[in-house]
Chains A and B, each alone.
Chain A
Amino acid sequence: MTSITKDRARVSRTYLKEVVADGGGVRTSTSLLLLDTVAAIGFAAGLAGGVVAVSSGVLAMLPWAVLAGASGIGRGACAMLAARVGARGAYRAKTRLRRRIVTAALHRLPGSDATTGTLMSAAVDEVDAIDGYVARFLPARIAASIAPLIVLAATAVASPIAAAVLVTTFFPFVVAMILAGGAAADESRRQFVALARLSGVFADRIGALPIVLAFRAEAREARALGEASEDLARRTLGVLRVAFLSSGALEFFAALSVALVAVYAGFNLLGLLPFPVPETLTLGRAFFVLALAPEFYAPMRRLAAAYHDRQAAETAAERLAAIEQASVAPATVVPTWPRTLPSIRFDSVSVRYDGQHSAAVSDVSFEVRAGTIVALVGPSGSGKSSLLHLLLGLAPLSGGRVSIGDHDLAEIGSIAPIAAWAGQSPLILTGTIGSNIALADPTASAERIAEVARVAGLSPMLLARGGLGAAIDARGGGISGGERRRIALARALLKPAPVMLLDEPTAHLDADAEARLIEVIAHVCAGRTTIFATHSARLAAIADVVVDLGEIA
C-alpha cells in the first residue's frame, strides 16, 4: 500500500471513530455478544452432562437437557438482542451523521463542484454505508478480543491442558494473520476499489444511454463493458486467492483446534498419551472442552464476516469527510444596514468555480441604482444565476468588487439578511400552504400571510384547496408551476427586504400565465432594489435597465 492510500485510510478511520464517538450502543451490543459466549459455555456443559448421564437413564439426563435447551434459547436471544441494539445504535449514528452532512451540503463552499446528485448520494447512500460498521463490525471487534478469553478460562477450569492446546493453535494463527492478513487486507481493499470502479463505468454508460443509442454504439459499448467486467473478474479472482487466505487461516486453525482437543482428550481418557500430563480427564470434562472448542474461534469468524462492513464504511467516510471539509460556517459578520434602499455596484466582477477552466462570469460591470430594477438577460450559461448567487455568498467572487451601499461584498460575504428571493423551482416543504409562505417570516400573523397570499394571486388556489391550512407535501403534488412561483412571491412580499432577487421567475410558464405573473412581480419589486435573471422579453420589459451578459461575453 502506498503511503498516500495509507494516509487516506487513516483519515477515514479517524473520521469514522469520531462519527460513532458516543458508542452508538456498541457497549450494550458487545455485552450481549459476550453473554452469548457465556450461554455457549452453558450449552457445552449441558451436552457434556447429558452424555455422562446417558448410562443413568433419560431421567438423569433431563436436568442437563434443560440446561442445554435454556442455553440454546439464551444464545438466540442474545444474538437477536445484539442485532437490535446494534440497529438502534446505527439508527442514532446515521441520523446524526446525516444531519451533519445535510448541514454541510447547505453550507458548501461557494464554487464547490459538488452537484446536487453527488451530495444526495452522499447524504443518503453513503451515510447508510456506516450502518453495518456500527451495528455489526464495532461490537464484533470488541467481542473478538474478550470472548476467546472467556472460552479459554472455562476450558482451563475443565482441562488446563486443553486450554493450552487452544492457546498453542492461537499463536501460529496470529502469525499467519500477520503474514497473510496484511497482504490480504491490502488486496481486498484494492478489489473493493476495482469493483467500485466497474460499477462506476456501468453507471456512466447507463446514464449516457441516449448518447450510446444515437451513435448506434450499443453493441460496441456492451462488448467493452463485458470485456472490462471479464478482465476485472480474472484479475479480481487472482486477488481473492490472497484475500481469502486470511479467512482460510482462520478456518484452518478453528478446525485444527477442534481436532487437537478431540485427539488429546481421547488419548488422555484412554491413558495412552505418549507423554506425562498432570491431569486425568473424566468423560464430562473431556466432552465439555470438545463442545466448547469451536467457540474459541467463533468471535473471530464473526469479525471476519463483518469486515466488508468496515470497508464500505471507510470508503464512504472518505467522501463524507471531504464534504464536511468543503463547507463553511455561516458568516458571523452582520453589518448594520441603513434604512434607505441600497444601490448595488458590480466592478469588473468575475466568478470562476473550482475545477473549471473558464470563468462563469468574467469582467462584468454595471450598477443597480437604489430602488430600480435591472434585468440580466443572455443565453443559459452566460452567468446570470452566478451573479445572483454571488450576492448571497453561494458563488465565489474571484475577481473585481461588488459594493452594496457602503459595504463591500467581500467583507460581509452575503446580503441575504436584506434580500428576498424568488426562483424557478421554489422550495416546497411538507406542511400547509400557510406554513410554506411563513418560511420567510415565522412570526408573521395569519392576517398578514392571508394578505400576501391574496396579493401574490394565490386566491384561486386557496379557494380550490380550502385555505391557508390546506396540506401540501414536499413533492408539491398537484401544485402547478405557476402556483409554486406565486408561493415564492408571497414569501418575498412577507419579508420587507430592501433588495429583491429573482432567478428566471417565469421560466416554463405559458404566455398567459407569464403575463399574469409579471403583474405580481412588478408589484413585489416596487420600492426595492431589484435584480432579476430572465430569458423572457416581456419580463425584461418591466426593468429600468437591461444588462445583456451574452453581449458582454
Chain B
Amino acid sequence: MTAFDTLIAGERRRQRRRLWRASGYAAVVALASVVLLGLSGWFITAAAVAGLAGTIAAQGFNYVLPSAGIRLLAILRTAGRYGERLASHDAAFGALARIRPALFLGFAAGPADHALALTQGEATARIVQDVSVVEAQFVRLSAVPGMITALSSGLLLCALGGWRPALALGVCLAGVLALATVLARRLEAPGREVQRASGALKDAFAGVADAAAELRCYGAEAAALAAVDACSLRLAEAQRAQAGVSGWFDFIQAVALGMAGVSASLLAGPSGAPIAALCALAAVMTVDGAGPVLRSLAQRSAVREATARLNELLPDAVAEAQVANCRAAPSLALLGTHLPAGARVALIGASGTGKTTLVESLLGLRAVTAGTAFIDGTDIAAIPLAIRRATFGWAPQDAALLAGTVRDTLALGDPLADEAAMWAALADVALADVVATMPHGLDSWVGEHGVRLSGGERRRLALARAYLVPAPWLLLDEPTEGLDAATERRVADGLAARLERTMQGLVMVSHRPAMVALCDRHCPIVAAPGLVVTLPTATEPQPRRSRRR
C-alpha cells in the first residue's frame, strides 16, 4: 500500500460515519427507484386484470396499499437522493480538509530537491487538479452500495417471476460491469496521451511566449502560431479519442437496460402479466441504478493516475524531532572559511557560480556534499534540517512571499513577534513609511506572490521577514537587487544598525558595493565542481566602527 493510499484509507475510516450515511441514502434511493417502478407496473397491470374481470373483482382489489406505497416511495426516493448528495459531499469535504494539509506536510517532509522542483507553476497546477480528482472520487464512494441495493431489490422482485428473470437480470448487470471494466482499461492509453499532449502544448506555448521579441523582429509569429497549433490539435485529438471511448459507456448501459427489461418480461411471462410487468420495470431500474458505478469506472484511470502522481510526491517522510529555536550563537565554516559567531561575510562571484545554490544547500533545500559547510565544527550534512533552518534568517533571491497580509508575511519569520517588533523590522528595511500609508497598515493584503507590491518593496518585505527570525545568522541573497541607490543606502544603514543591536552574524550574496562594504570578509565562490577555496581578501575582521564613520 502506497503512502497516499494509506492517507486515503485513513480518511475513509475517519469519515466512515458520513460515508455510511451516504451509502444508506444511496441504498434508499436505489431501493425506492426499483420498487417504485416495479410496484407501479404491477399495480397498473393487476388493476387492468381486475377491471376486466368485472366491477366486483375491481371493488375487491386492494388498491390502498399499492397506491400509498407508490406515493411513499416517490417521496423516499427524493429525500434519499438529497440526503445522499449532502452526506457524500460532507464526507468528501471533511476528508479533503485533512488530505490537503497532510499532502502538504508530506511534501514538506520529503527530500529537499522535491521542494524546489515544486515551485514551478505547472507542477503546482497539476497537484491541485489531481486533488480535485480525488475529491470527486470521494463523492462517488456511495455508488457501489447503491448498486448493490438496486441489484438485491431487483433480484428479489424478479424472483417473484421465478429464477429465470432474476438470473437474466444478474447476467445483464454482470455483463455491463464486465464490459465497463474492459472499457475503463481502454481509457488508460488516451488518458495518458492527453497528459503528454497537454505537457507538450504547455512547453510549446511557453517557448513561444518567452520569445516575443524574436518573433517580432523576424515576423515569425505565423510560424510560431502554427507550431503551437500543431500541439493544440494533438491535445484536442487526444481528448476527442478519450470522449469517444467514454461514449461507449452510455451505449453499453442503454443496451443492457433494454436487454434486462425485455428478457425479464419474456422470462416472467408464465407467471402472468402483472408479474411480467413488475419484473420488466424492476430490471430496467436495477440496471439504471448501476449508472453511478459505470460513471465511476469511466473515471477510474484518471483517478489512478492522479493518485499515482500524488503518491510520487509523497516520499517517505524524514522523521525529525521538532527543535527549539537555535539561540546560542554558533560559529560557521563555509568552503573552508571559518566564521566566528557575529562575523559578516560577503559571498562574491560571477553569476552562475553557485552562490544561491550554496545558500539553499545551507537551508537543506538542496542536497549538500559533505565538507561544504560546518556549524560549530559539525558538517551540516550530519545536522538535522530543523537545526540548520533555525540557524539562519533567510531572505531568498527571488523574494518569494506567501499570499497573505503584511502581518502574515512577517509572522512567518517569527510567529510570536509583536507589532512593535514588526514595525522595527519594517523601519530597518525602509518600508515602514510605505506600509504606514497603506489603507490597512499591517493588515494590508500583499496579494498572491506579492503582486501588489513593486519588485523593490517585495524584496524589502522579504528582508524584513528574515530580520524577524530569531536566528543567530542572517542569510541574505541579493537583498538590495533592483533597489535605487538612495533606498539601498537606507537598507544598508538599517542592516548595520540592526546587526549592531542583535549581534547576529551575516552571510550575504551581493555584488553591490554599498552592501559588500558592510562585510568584514569576502568569500569568493568559484564555479568549479570541486569548489576551490580561496582565501578571503580580508582575513582579519576590521574594526566595524571605523568603517562606518
> Does B432 sit at the interface, judged by CB under 8 A?
no
Q: Which residue of A lies closest to B281 (CB)?
A: A291
Q: Interface residue tally of chain B, by bracket?
A: 35 or more
A1 at the B interface (CB under 8 A): no
Interface hit among B113-121, B368-376, B417-425: B113-121
Alpha-carbon separation in the docked complex, A62 to B266 (Å): 8
* Interchain CA distance A236-B86 in the complex, whole Å: 10
Q: List, sorted by A's number, 15 A–B pairs whose CB atoms are closer than 8 Å.
A: A61-B265, A75-B254, A105-B205, A117-B121, A201-B403, A211-B412, A213-B115, A213-B363, A240-B86, A247-B85, A251-B77, A259-B70, A263-B43, A355-B452, A358-B455
Whether A95 contacts B233 in the complex (CB less than 8 A), given A121-B125, A213-B363, A425-B210, comes out as yes
How long is the Cα–Cα vector from A103 to B229 in the complex, in angstroms?
Answer: 10
- Near A by CB (< 8 A), chain B positions 166-182 give none
Name the interface residues of A48-106: CB closer than 8 Å to any CB of B.
Answer: 50-52, 54-55, 57-58, 61-62, 65, 68-69, 71-73, 75-77, 79-81, 83-84, 86-88, 90-91, 94-95, 98-99, 102-103, 105-106
When C-beta atoms are compared, the residue in chain B nearest to A127 turns out to be B232
Bound-complex Cα distance A102 to B231 (A): 12
Smallest Cβ-Cβ distance to B49: which chain A residue: A283
Bound together, the chains give a CA A355 to CA B281 distance in angstroms of 64
Q: Interface with A: B3-11, B97-105, B328-336, B516-524, which one?
A: B97-105
Q: How many residues of A contact B (CB 8 A)?
A: 157
| B70:A204 contact, CB within 8 angstroms | no
Q: Does A269 contact B (CB under 8 A)?
A: yes
Q: Which of A227-269 touch B at CB < 8 Å?
A: 229-230, 232-233, 236-237, 240-241, 244, 247-248, 251-252, 255-256, 258-259, 261-263, 265-267, 269
**A57 to chain B: closest CB distance in Å?**
8
A138 surroundings in chain B (CB, below 8 A): none
- Quick check: B66 and A266 within 8 Å, CB to CB? yes
The digit string for B201-242, where 1 denotes a CB below 8 A from any CB of A, is 111111111111111111111011101111111011101100
**Would B104 and A200 count as touching, CB distance under 8 A?**
no
Query: Roughly how many angstroms separate A404 CA and B265 CA in the complex, as a whole number?
Result: 88
Which residues of chain A are near B254, meaning CB under 8 Å?
Answer: 72-73, 75-77, 79
- Contact status B237-A91, CB under 8 Å: yes
Q: Does A186 contact B (CB under 8 A)?
A: no
Contact call A210/B396, Cβ cutoff below 8 A: yes
| Chain A minimum-CB-distance residue to B267 | A58
- 0 or 1 for each of A197-219: is its CB under 8 Å from B? (1 = yes): 00111111111111111111111
Inter-subunit contact A87/B240 (CB<8 Å): yes
Which B107-165 residues have a C-beta within 8 angstroms of A? 107-109, 112, 115-116, 118-119, 121-122, 124-125, 127-128, 131-132
Contacts of A497 in B (CB 8 A): 217
Stretch at the interface among B339-347, B480-488, B498-506, B541-549: B480-488
Q: Which of B93, B108, B232 contacts A99 (CB 8 A)?
A: B232
Q: Is the CB of A204 within 8 A of B448?
A: yes
Digitize B28-66: 1 where CB-to-A-CB distance is under 8 Å, 0 elsewhere. Answer: 000010001101110111011111000100110101001
Q: Which residues of B contact A261 (CB under 8 A)?
A: 40
**In the complex, which residues of chain B have a beta carbon less than 8 angstroms from the beta carbon of A210?**
115-116, 119, 360, 363, 365, 396, 400
B533 within 8 A of A: no
B402 at the interface (CB under 8 A from A): yes
Taking a contact as CB atoms under 8 Å apart, the answer to whether B41 and A287 are in contact is yes
Selected contact of B512 from candidates A83, A270, A379, A475, CB within 8 Å: A379
Q: How far is the CA of A356 from the CA of B457 in the complex (A)?
A: 10
User: Chain A interface: which of B19-27, B255-263, B300-308, B489-497?
Assistant: B255-263
* Structural contact, B232 and A91, CB atoms closer than 8 A: no
